[in-house]
Amino acid sequence: MLTLKYLFEAVGFALLAAAAATVLHDLYRRYRQPSPDLIAGSPGDTWQPRWHAAGRLAALAIAPLLIGLSIQVVPSGMAAVRVSQISGTLPGTLYPGFHLVVPLVQSVALYDVRDQIFQTTIGEKPSQTLNVQTKEGLSVGLAVAIRYRIDPQRLSYVHANLPQPVDTELVPPVVATAFREIAPNYLVRDLFATRREEIRREAAGAITRRLAPDAIGVKEVMLRDVALPAEYAKGLEGVLLKEQENERMGVEVELKTKQVRTAELEAEAEKARQVKAAEGQAQVTVLQAKAQSDAMQYTLPLKQKQIEQTRLEAEARAQAKVIDGRAELERRKLMNQADVDRVQVMSKADTDNLRLEAGVLKESPILLQKIIADKLSDKVQIMMVPSDGKFFFANDVLRGGVPSAAPVIPPIPNQQ
pTM of the model: 0.49
- pLDDT over 70, % of the chain: 80
CATH number at residue 164: 3.30.479.30
Higher pLDDT: 340 or 70? It is 340
Mean pLDDT of all residues belonging to the chain = 79
Using CA atoms, how far residue 394 sits from 368, 383, 408, 416, in Å, is 11, 11, 16, 36
Is the residue at 288 inside a domain?
no
**Residue 268, domain member (yes or no):** no
Looking at 66, 94, 110, the residue that finishes a domain is 110
Structural domain boundaries enclosing 78: 2-110
Q: Examine the domain organization and report whether 17 and 89 are in the same domain.
A: yes
Total domains in the fold of the chain: 3
Q: Which of 228, 260, 286 is the last residue of a domain?
A: 228
Burial class (CB in 10 A: 0-12, 13-18, 19+), 251: exposed
Q: Do 97 and 120 have their domain in common?
A: no
Query: When comparing pLDDT for 368 and 265, which is higher?
Result: 265
Same domain, 415 and 400: yes
What is 141-204 written as a DSSP string? EEEEEEEEEE-GGGHHHHHHHS-SSHHHHTHHHHHHHHHHHHGGGS-HHIIIIITHHHHHHHHH
For 27-44, what is each residue's pLDDT tens digit?
777 777 655 544 444 444
Query: What pLDDT is stored for residue 174 in this prediction?
Result: 93
Which tens digits make up the pLDDT trace of 214-232? 999 999 999 888 887 777 7
Same domain assignment for residues 47 and 69: yes
Q: Which of 193, 228, 263 is the last residue of a domain?
A: 228
pLDDT of residue 406 exceeding 50, the answer is no
Residue 34 φ/ψ, nearest 5 degrees:
-70, 165
Output the DSSP codes for 24-48. HHHHHHHHHS--HHHHHT---PPP-
**Same domain as 106, residue 72:** yes
185 in the same domain as 77? no
Same domain, residue pair 216 and 149: yes
Note whether 152 and 224 are same-domain residues. yes
